[in-house]
Amino acid sequence: MDVLPYLYQINVSAGGIPKLPVQQAQIVRAGIEGDCQRNRTHHGGPDRALCVYAWEKILALQQEGHTISPGASGENFTIAGLIWDRMQPGNRLHIGENVVIELTSYCVPCRQNARWFSEGHYRRISQDHHPGWSRLYARVVSEGWVYQGDRVQVANHSTEDS
* pLDDT tens figures, 132-144: 999 999 999 999 9
Domains identified in the chain, total number: 1
59 part of a folded domain: yes
19 part of a folded domain: yes
Nearest to 13 by CA among 40, 33, 41: 33
* pLDDT number for residue 46: 75
* pLDDT number for residue 41: 53
pLDDT > 90? residue 157:
no
pLDDT > 80? residue 38:
no
Q: How many CB atoms lie within 10 A of CB 36?
A: 15
Instruction: Report the percentage of the chain scoring pLDDT > 90.
Output: 80
Residue 114's Cα: distance from chain center in Å?
18
Q: Which residue has the higher pLDDT, 36 or 33?
A: 33
* pLDDT number for residue 44: 60
1 part of a folded domain: no
Least confident of 49-58, 105-114, 136-145, 152-161: 152-161
123 part of a folded domain: yes
18 part of a folded domain: yes
Range 81-114 burial, b when 16+ CB lie within 10 A, else e: bbbbeebeeebbbbbbeebbbbbbebbebeeebe
CA pair distance 81, 129, nearest whole angstrom = 24
pLDDT > 80? residue 72:
yes
Question: Where in the sequence is the domain holding 58, given as residue range(s)?
Answer: 6-161
pLDDT > 90? residue 45:
no
What are the two backbone dihedrals, phi and then psi, of residue 78, each rounded to the nearest 5 degrees? -105, 120
Q: Which residues contact 154 (CB under 8 A, 6 or more apart)?
A: 5, 82, 87, 91, 92, 93, 94, 162
CATH code at position 103:
2.40.33.20
